[in-house]
Structure formats: C-alpha cells, structure tokens
Amino acid sequence: MIDLFSEVAKFCDLTIPDSHKVPIAIIGAGGIVDGAHLPAYKKAGLQVVGITDVDLSKAAEVAARHGIATVYKDVDELLADPTAQVIDIAVPAVAQPDIFLKVAGAGRNILAQKPMATTVADGVRMADAVAANKIVAAVNHQLRFEEGMAAAHKMVELGWVGTVTNMTFHVNLITPWELWPWAKDLERLEVMLHSIHYHDVVRWFLGEPNTVFCAAGRTKDQYPKGETRTISTYLFDQGVTALVHANHINRGGDNYAEYRIDGDKGSIRGTMGLLYDYPVGRVDTLEVNSQVAGTDGWTPYPVTTRWFPDAFMGTMGSVMGAIATGAPLRSSVADTVGTLKLVAALYESMDSGLAVKL
Ligand SMILES: NC(=O)c1ccc[n+]([C@@H]2O[C@H](COP(=O)([O-])OP(=O)(O)OC[C@H]3O[C@@H](n4cnc5c(N)ncnc54)[C@H](O)[C@@H]3O)[C@@H](O)[C@H]2O)c1
C-alpha cells in the first residue's frame, strides 16, 4: 500500500530545489505574512531580502523578528532595489491591483495574495500586464498545494475514483473575523475572502461549470457586515455536480471542515485540520476507497504537512520553478481570472436569487 501511494506523494512534495531558489521581497507585513509566508519560507530555506508596508513600524517589527535585513520606505524604494527576483504581495484585495500593476510594469515576477482582485475587470487588467511585461505571476491559492488536497487531485488524475460525479465541501466554523478589521464593513465577505479557496479548488478539479447558484445569509449579532453563510451549487457537463457549504457563525462549538469527491469507481474524503482551530489547526486527514487502486475499503493516506504554513512553500516554489525552468504555474494569474469570474457569478446569483450561466 505504501508503494501504491508513492506517485501521489511525489506530486505533493513541496521541496524547492536549491537551483530554483531566488531572493524575495515582500509588500505587506500583516498577519498572513507573519504567520504563514515567513515561516514557510524559513522552512523551505528561502531568503527574504526586504519588506515594506504602509505601516512602517509594523514592517520593522516583522523584519526584526524574522531576520529580514531591509525595510523599504515604500514600494518605489523596494522596486529600486534589483536584488529580489520575486515580489510577494500580501495586502487587502482592494489595494492589490494598483500595487500589482506597478510591480508588473517594472518587469518583476510576482506572487499575489488571494483574492487577486475584487472585480473581474481588475483581474483581466492584471493578467494583461503579466502578458505584456512577460513576467511570471501567480496567485496564492495555496489550497491547491495543501498536501491532502494535492494528493486527492493526483488520485483523481490517476483515475482512482473513475469519472468524477460530484465534489462537496462542508465547513462549519466559528471564524475569528476580528483578525481582519479591514473586512468588518465589506459587503462581500464569505465567498470573496474564504470560500474562494474552495471555489478555486473546484475549478482545479472539475473545470468551468455551466451553471451556478448561491444562497447566502447573515447571523444575528455577527461581527462583520457581509454574508457569513453561503451555499453554492454547480452544474457541469454530463450532470457532474458540486456543492460548497460554509458557515462561519457556528455557535455549537463543533468546528468541522470536510470535503469529498465521488466517482463511478470510488470516493475520496478529507478534512482540513487548519479550520478546526484557526490559525493553529490540527493535522489533516485523507482517505480513499478505490475499485481501481484496489484499496481494502477506506484507506488512509498519511498527510504529514499542514495547509498553514507548508502549502505556502508550494505557491512560492511554483513561481520559482517557473522562473528557473519555464514549468507551468499551478495557480497562474491568467487562470485565476476564471476564479474571479466564478466569484462574480456567485454574487450575481446571491443578489438576484437566480441560477447564473457562465
Ligand atoms: N490562506 C490565505 O492565503 C490567506 C489567509 C489570510 C489572509 N489572506 C489574504 O492576505 C491579505 C492580507 O491579509 P492579512 O491577514 O495579512 O491582513 P492584515 O490586516 O493582518 O495585514 C494587511 C497588511 O497590509 C498592509 N497594507 C494595506 N494596504 C497597503 C498598501 N497599499 N501598501 C502596503 N501595505 C499595505 C496593512 O498595513 C497591513 O499590515 C488579504 O488579501 C487576505 O485576504 C490570505
């Protein structure tokens, strides 16, 4: 059985070869950089040469704690230093397109945070800038690199569940929205900031849907203004279906975050440990029951790394691999425009109460 999993484990390997490693500079010194980007880069043996933030005292504090030599006073000063070969942007989405376009215009390679932008039009402008400036640019949709999810994707690719018929996410959490004060008054919250990970992954597994529907709600006395409960359904060719159900005001205290992929020859089921106690988390689980691989019923795949911070090595490693070898990106800016279109369709459905054709 261990041998059976070797090809899957190879696909999930997050090791960045030394020959691919290039210096990084970071724009944004917030919670996700402090808690996930920098720990992942340290684990991968990557060098961060400098950082900036509109809040320079925050940049200085994060730089001191993580041993980053330079605090740039702004993006212009960062771009004037040619040392970094990847510019890692991690600011709220509303601020990201302008910064992205400036960095792309300077011909520098980029890893941008999700959501890449809040509108499809901005996303298209960013993708056009990548093409015009011939840079490598990806979006930090790192759930595509999370070990359990990546293993599930490889199992599907190997045909272990046959033809996929359905994919579901069920997430029921008490999410600490207070961590993101800038998100408190956002009208568009849950799909835009959280479920976008699952919607992006559904696209990665199943491609573009024909029709989507989304219902959303808010819960009495919730901290943020925007929607905190969403149920999204998808219809693909040949009757293939998907469902993403996420609730962030679970007052029952029993957080869970599960996903499942069914096919005509087997099924895969997993949990995303991070969300059971965000951002500390616990180990993920993954099990497969396959007539093709000949598992003896439900068989566990040993997940040995975590979404936070490990999967952040994957997104950065993918950018560095593309720079070094021209290998395709797993979550390119061009591909992510499709995720923004999907998010826009889900909000259109939410607003109209109708299913939306893509
Ligand atoms: N799984 C994930 O990939 C994940 C998880 C959490 C957050 N995020 C995303 O990462 C981004 C940052 O989130 P966070 O949790 O670090 O938020 P945060 O509020 O902790 O930090 C945001 C930082 O950006 C800085 N900033 C704002 N505008 C700026 C500008 N114009 N130039 C330079 N710096 C600027 C702020 O001063 C702040 O330090 C958001 O887009 C969020 O959606 C992604």
Q: How many CB atoms lie within 10 A of CB 80?
A: 10
* CA distances in angstroms from 106 to 82, 87, 100, 110, listed in the order given: 10, 11, 10, 11
| CA nearest ligand 1 atom 30, residue | 54
Q: What is the mean pLDDT of residues 204-210?
A: 98
* CA distances in angstroms from 346 to 179, 211, 335, 342, 357, listed in the order given: 25, 10, 18, 6, 10
Backbone angles phi, psi at 5, to 5 degrees: -85, 0
Helix (H, G, I), strand (E, B) or coil at 48: strand
Q: What is the pLDDT of residue 280?
A: 87
Helix (H, G, I), strand (E, B) or coil at 95: coil
| CA nearest ligand 1 atom 31, residue | 95
* CA distances in angstroms from 147 to 89, 184, 311, listed in the order given: 23, 31, 7
CA of 148 to the centre of ligand 1 (A): 26
Q: What is the mean pLDDT of residues 65-85?
A: 98
CA of 7 to the centre of ligand 1 (A): 36
CA of 209 to the centre of ligand 1 (A): 30
What's the rounded Cα separation, in Å, for the pair 243 and 169? 6
Question: Of all helices (H) and strands (E), which one includes residue 97?
Answer: helix 96-105
Residue 32, Cβ density class (10 Å: 0-12 exposed, 13-18 middle, ≥19 buried) = buried
CA of 180 to the centre of ligand 1 (A): 8
Could you tell me if 222 and 178 are in contact, meaning their C-beta atoms sit under 8 angstroms apart? no
* C-alpha gyration radius of the chain: 20
Could you tell me if 188 and 118 are in contact, meaning their C-beta atoms sit under 8 angstroms apart? yes
Could you tell me if 293 and 300 are in contact, meaning their C-beta atoms sit under 8 angstroms apart? no
What's the rounded Cα separation, in Å, for the pair 302 and 348? 40
**Three-state secondary structure of 220-256:** CCCCCCCCCEEEEEEECHHHCEEEEEEECECCCCCCE
* CA distances in angstroms from 247 to 4, 34, 152, 228, 275, listed in the order given: 36, 26, 24, 6, 12
Q: Which of 51, 113, 146, 248 to mutate to test the pocket of ligand 1 (most atoms within 8 A of CB)?
A: 113
Strands in the chain per DSSP E: 24-27, 48-52, 70-71, 86-89, 109-112, 137-139, 164-172, 211-217, 229-235, 241-247, 256-263, 266-271, 285-290, 299-300, 356-357
**pLDDT at 1 > cutoff 80:** no
The DSSP 8-state label assigned to residue 34 in this structure reads: I
Task: Give residues (CB < 6 A) around ligand 1.
Answer: 27-33, 53-55, 58, 90-93, 95, 99, 113-114, 140, 142, 180, 182, 193
Q: Report yes or no on whether pTM surpasses 0.85.
A: yes
**pLDDT at 279 > cutoff 90:** no
Looking at the CA of residue 96, tell me the nearest atom of ligand 1.
31
| CA nearest ligand 1 atom 26, residue | 91
CA of 141 to the centre of ligand 1 (A): 14
| CA nearest ligand 1 atom 23, residue | 30
What's the rounded Cα separation, in Å, for the pair 139 and 113? 6
Q: Which of 32, 33, 145, 149 to mutate to test the pocket of ligand 1 (most atoms within 8 A of CB)?
A: 32
For helices 196-206 and 147-157, the axis angle rounded to 10 degrees is 20
Q: What is the mean pLDDT of residues 256-280?
A: 96
CA of 92 to the centre of ligand 1 (A): 5
pLDDT digits (tens, 9 = 90+) for 90-139: 999 999 999 999 999 999 999 999 999 999 999 999 999 999 999 999 99
pLDDT digits (tens, 9 = 90+) for 134-172: 999 999 999 999 999 999 999 999 999 999 999 999 999
Could you tell me if 105 and 129 are in contact, meaning their C-beta atoms sit under 8 angstroms apart? yes
CA of 229 to the centre of ligand 1 (A): 22
Looking at the CA of residue 93, tell me the nearest atom of ligand 1.
41
Q: What is the mean pLDDT of residues 170-189?
A: 94
Q: What is the mean pLDDT of residues 258-286?
A: 95
CA of 96 to the centre of ligand 1 (A): 9
What's the rounded Cα separation, in Å, for the pair 280 and 273? 9
Q: What is the mean pLDDT of residues 288-307?
A: 96
Q: Hey, what domains does the chain have and what are their CATH numbers?
A: 13-142+313-332 (3.40.50.720), 143-306+340-357 (3.30.360.10)
CA of 90 to the centre of ligand 1 (A): 5
Helix (H, G, I), strand (E, B) or coil at 212: strand
